[in-house]
A and B are shown apart, each in its own frame.
Chain A
């Protein structure tokens, strides 16, 4: 069964391009609808009930984060994958914290995009090297950092750090697994756990860091 995908982007040209690419290269994904604004997106997603929403970060009226908030208030089933031209750390971290399960840039190849869509639809997280770098940086132990209130959420385990480092170096899950002598499933578990921490941690640095640093 193919993954049902809904496109949200305020650039009609870009939507048409992604739709054409996804339709032509694979049967694994099926674009069921698209929207160009926050209102349209919310209505469309509620109507089509897609598996995965490809979400643009920058849109008028609150952007992708606003769509996430409105949908996730009523529907926890649908999965979001953020897609953006932006490299700004605050955009990346904010959309992840709003509930997206992954973040890829618009320059990603079509094959990679299909893989990412399938992966998030199966419940995994998708970290681009850049996102991995952001998260590593955000959780970094700096002198004078705020005290850790909840070690469960505010600290990465050494293993998670290793996985993130390899992700940032551009390794695929399979390569990470063989590098660290663990299974691909374990790599996925680590990445999902990092995603959860990124979303739920109240660590002071995470929010401040994202606004301080526009770009890494």
Chain B
């Protein structure tokens, strides 16, 4: 049997019992009210069931309590309580001084317990321990009610001169209970920590699984499909490797790279993907990407593209060094090379995209190449003092 989580008025005990017995919830509530009328047995039964019966798991959908059912249930409860108080008064007028404060204390306890249920539900839902302001208010007012009830009860049943002894006895008992239950509290705290750790682990694993699924498994599937094309397989493997590395080492390249090392990594990645070649890069030092440096990276990218297109190689290496006064980038291939004097005027790759870009920002381009000796483009851009980091 499980207490109802949805459609409950106080704690879902009556609903749970109705589900368990297969009876209409109205009749269960009526029986509770009747038992309450008979010297309060219904309240005791309800309280015991509340304590010992667990709520249903939070995974089930919740249904808001029907307004009519609410009114009906509250009416029944009021009726039962009223009859109980009335008969109690009839039986023994003096006992009103006992039952009155007890009732106040009971209401207080009910408020606190209900709040505990709520807090647990919220914890499941949000994965947080926080109670919220309203929850704290409810708990505190419940505790105050219990305190008032007990105080009123004691006030009327103990003479003042006995008070110190009584207080001492109560205090001693409380301390005793606290000491006896220390292991219990410890276990509770430990279980809670354990549960949170387990949850974090599960979440991490789920995230890793999701990532591997989205990236690695998809790529492997693609590779199997493209197995005939060596170029395509290499390209896929290389781009996947790069992606996995940046994820593992927490260096994911965003939309707009902020530093020169990231910008160069991104440019190399683009060229790798577009031309199915390897572009290993080594960057020494790092700095924030300012205007001129942005042009430098673009020029370097253009040099890589040229090498990829014309050199006939499978690898182009890039080396960048950030120094206090300048940034230097070398783009090198070991391909066919060329004679710079024979490059036709209409091929603007080198003159426009590289030299033009660098000149506009005060940079320099040097070219080392000869037929069959490979090509190295050296780019140097001064750093403006305010851009220093």
How far is A215 from B319 in the complex, measured between Cα atoms in Å? 15
Question: How many residues on the A side are at the interface (Cβ–Cβ under 8 A)?
Answer: 16
* CA gap between A214 and B282 in the complex, in Å: 14
**Residues of chain B within 8 A of A87, CB atoms compared:** 245, 249
Which chain A residues border B245 with CB–CB below 8 Å?
87, 215
Residue of B nearest to A109 (CB): B315
Give residues of chain A (106-144) contacting chain B, Cβ–Cβ below 8 Å.
Answer: 129-130, 132-133, 136-137, 140
Chain B, residues 316-342, CB within 8 Å of chain A (1/0): the string is 010101000000001010000000000
Query: Contacts A133-B282, A133-B284: A169 and B332 contacting too (C-beta < 8 A)?
Result: yes
Cα distance A81–B42 in the bound complex, in angstroms: 81
Q: Which of A152-173 contact B (CB under 8 A)?
A: 165, 168-170
Given contacts A87-B245, A214-B249, contact A130 B280 (CB under 8 A): yes
Residues of B within 8 Å of A168, CB to CB, are 282, 284, 319, 321
Complex CA gap A170/B126 in Å reads 54
Interface residues of B in 227-253 (CB under 8 A from A): 245, 249-251
CB of A170 within 8 A of CB of B319, answer: yes
Contact of B284 among A88, A140, A170, A214 (CB under 8 A): A140
Interface code B337-373, partner A: CB below 8 Å = 1, 0 otherwise? 0000000000000000000000000000000000000
> CB < 8 Å: which of A88, A130, A140 contacts B282?
A130
- Interface of chain B residues 74 through 111 with chain A (CB within 8 A): none
Cβ B251 vs Cβ A215 within 8 A: yes
Q: Are A214 and B250 in contact (CB under 8 A)?
A: yes
Q: Are A137 and B330 in contact (CB under 8 A)?
A: no
A contact residues around B24 at 8 Å (CB) = none
**Interface 1/0 per residue, B293-327 and A, CB below 8 Å:** 00000000000000000000000010101000000
Query: Taking chain B's interface residues, is the majority helix, strand, or loop, or is none over half, making it mixed?
Result: strand
Q: How far is the CA of A71 from the CA of B321 in the complex (A)?
A: 37
Residues of chain A within 8 A of B261, CB atoms compared: 216
Question: For residue B319, which residues in chain A have a CB less than 8 angstroms away from its CB?
Answer: 129, 133, 165, 168-170
* Bound: A88/B280 CA distance, A: 15
The distance in angstroms between the C-alpha atoms of A55 and B285, with both chains bound, is: 29
Give the B interface residue count (CB, 8 A).
16
**CA distance in complex: A73, B261 (Å):** 40
Residues of A within 8 A of B332 (CB): 169-170
A169 partner residues in chain B, CB cutoff 8 A: 282, 317, 319, 330, 332, 376
Q: Once bound together, how far apart are the Cα atoms of A140 and B376, in whole Å? A: 25
State the Cβ distance, B320 to closest chain A Cβ, in Å: 9
Inter-chain contacts of A132 with B (CB < 8 A): 282
- A94–chain B nearest beta-carbon distance, Å: 16
C-alpha gap A169/B317 in the complex (Å)? 7
Contact check, B280 vs A216: say whether CB atoms are below 8 A apart: no
Complex contacts, B330 vs chain A, CB 8 Å: 169
> In the complex, what distance in Å separates the CA atom of A47 from the CA atom of B321?
45
How distant is A204 from chain B, measured CB to nearest CB, in Å? 18
- CB contact list, B244-283 vs A, under 8 A: 245, 249-251, 261, 280, 282-283
> CA–CA, A130 to B318, complex, Å?
11
In the complex, the answer to whether B280 meets A137 with C-beta atoms within 8 Å is: no
How many angstroms from the CA of A137 to the CA of B320 in the assembled complex? 11
Residue contact A165 to B321, C-beta cutoff 8 Å: yes
A-side contacts of B250, CB under 8 Å: 214
Please, which residues of chain B bring their CB within 8 A of the CB of A133?
282-284, 319
Chain B positions 205 through 238: 1 when the CB is less than 8 Å from some CB of chain A, otherwise 0: 0000000000000000000000000000000000
Within the complex, which residue of A129, A165, A215 is in contact with B317, where a contact is CB–CB below 8 Å?
A129
Give every chain B residue within 8 A of A136 (Cβ-Cβ): 284, 321
Residues of A within 8 A of B249 (CB): 87-88, 214-215
CA distance A210 to B334 in the complex (A): 32
Chain B residue nearest to A214 (CB atoms) is B249
Measured between C-beta atoms, what is the minimum distance from A166 to chain B in Å? 9
How far is B282's CA from A168's CA once the two chains are assembled, in angstroms? 7
B18 CB → nearest A CB, Å: 57
Cα distance A140–B330 in the bound complex, in angstroms: 19
Give CA–CA (A132, B284) in the complex, Å: 9
Chain A residues contacting B283 (CB-CB under 8 Å) are 133, 216
In the bound assembly, the distance between CA atoms of A216 and B246 in angstroms comes to 11
Residues on B with C-beta less than 8 A from A216 are 261, 282-284
With both beta carbons as reference points, the residue of chain A lying nearest to B280 in the complex is identified as A129
Interface centre among A87, A140, A216, by most B CB within 10 Å?
A: A216
Do the beta carbons of B251 and A129 come within 8 Å of each other? Answer: no
- With a cutoff of 8 Å between Cβ atoms, the chain B residues found around residue A130 in the complex are 280, 282
Closest to B245 in A: A87
Q: Specify which chain B residues have a CB less than 8 angstroms from the CB of A129 in the assembled complex.
A: 280, 282, 317, 319
Interface residues of B (CB under 8 A from A): 245, 249-251, 261, 280, 282-285, 317, 319, 321, 330, 332, 376
Query: Given A130-B280, A140-B285, A215-B249, 7 other A-B contacts at CB below 8 A?
Result: A137-B284, A165-B321, A169-B317, A169-B332, A169-B376, A170-B280, A170-B319
Identify 21 residue pairs between A and B in the complex whose beta-carbon atoms are under 8 Å apart, listed by A's number: A87-B245, A87-B249, A88-B249, A129-B317, A133-B282, A133-B284, A133-B319, A137-B285, A140-B284, A165-B319, A168-B284, A168-B321, A169-B317, A169-B332, A170-B280, A170-B317, A214-B249, A214-B250, A215-B245, A216-B261, A216-B283
> What 5 pairs between A and B have smallest CB-CB spacing?
A133-B282, A170-B317, A169-B319, A215-B249, A168-B282
